[in-house]
Amino acid sequence: MPNRSRINKPVYLEAFENGSLDKAIDRLFKELEFCSICPRKCKVNRIKNEKGFCKTGLKPKVYSYMAHQGEEPAISGIKGSGTIFFANCNMGCLYCQNYEFSQLGQGREVEFEDLAGFMLELQGMGCHNINLVTPTHVLPQILKSLEIAISAGLNIPLVYNTSGYELPEIIKLLDGIIDIYLPDMRYADEEFSVKFSNAPGYPKYNRKIIKEMYRQAGIARMDESGIIERGIIIRHLVLPNNLSGTEKIMKFIAEELSRDTYISLMSQYLPYHRAAEFKEINRRLKLKEYKEAREIMEKYGLGKGWIQESYGLERFAGVNIKSVLKDE
């Protein structure tokens, strides 16, 4: 059963007080010496600024930070989600809409104190949470910065916003630190995770870490305003030609987690970056494909979360659905 922790304050405050946050930081920085914090296990010494697949040494690189209104309603709320976009990534998605900084590395290296300052600035703007976008490859640095920010008064929840290519043993270290998990379940089949995202073993690792995140945080719980305080929301980006394997993923969620799991069924795929080189992904998503994905979700009794209505034009992910979906 998932842990049912108190949700009236961020769980990391207790971790800070009892020393478990500090222990996690020490363990993760040791992993950087022979880097093994993601499934790639590049084994470079990032403490000495050596760089592997993610092209990141010791210092985190940040592209931007802002009060973001374009996430799911439970995350953005009224005042926005305090979003920090980290540069570089441990995946290599050929269609990434954020490729300028995720693949090309745009952004600037920052000190841990600077990153802590960004968190505090976002809290000062009234943001509901701190939303860490693509945090996997800079997790040790994030937690060190978090420790600094807590000492200076940070007290809003953390959102771990990940592509889902993680190691379960690393995610276990976040138990009692992360309030809200926002992982992707991008692929059900390794053939496509390798071809389109250069992510060997993605389905295997992804399912394991999703179960661990669910164990830690449980079903999403909202406050009286509908803002998430704790729990997991799973994102599923519907890809053209059913490359994402929606049926297998929804079956897994229903049978291995809970039918009460909140799901964000995303229709915003567009052929960015190098997608034009591959006929399978060199087009927009069809309205029919998204409808089929929605029907699969309903088939497995998964009724909580958000869909992008083709006629209602709901914009939970910053995309006008009318401009994305079309029948062909």
What pLDDT, in 10s, does the model give residues 183-194? 999 999 999 999
- Structure confidence at residue 315 (pLDDT): 41
Tokens of 267: 């229709």
Q: How confident is the model at residue 308 (pLDDT cuts 50, 70, 90)?
A: confident
Instruction: Report d(CA 265, CA 40) in Å as an integer.
Output: 28
pTM score:
0.92
Q: Which residues of 298-317 are buried (b: 16+ CB within 10 A; e: fewer)?
A: eebebeebbbbebeeebebb
- Structure confidence at residue 309 (pLDDT): 64
The 10s digit of each residue's pLDDT in 157-182 is: 999 999 999 999 999 999 999 999 99
- Structure confidence at residue 264 (pLDDT): 97
Tokens 């420790």, residue located? 147
- Structure confidence at residue 72 (pLDDT): 95
The average confidence (pLDDT) of the chain is 92
Q: What is the mean pLDDT of residues 87-98?
A: 96
Lowest-confidence segment of 15-24, 264-273, 317-326 by average pLDDT: 317-326
Query: Residue 301: left if φ>0, alpha if ψ -120 to 50, beta else—which one?
Result: left
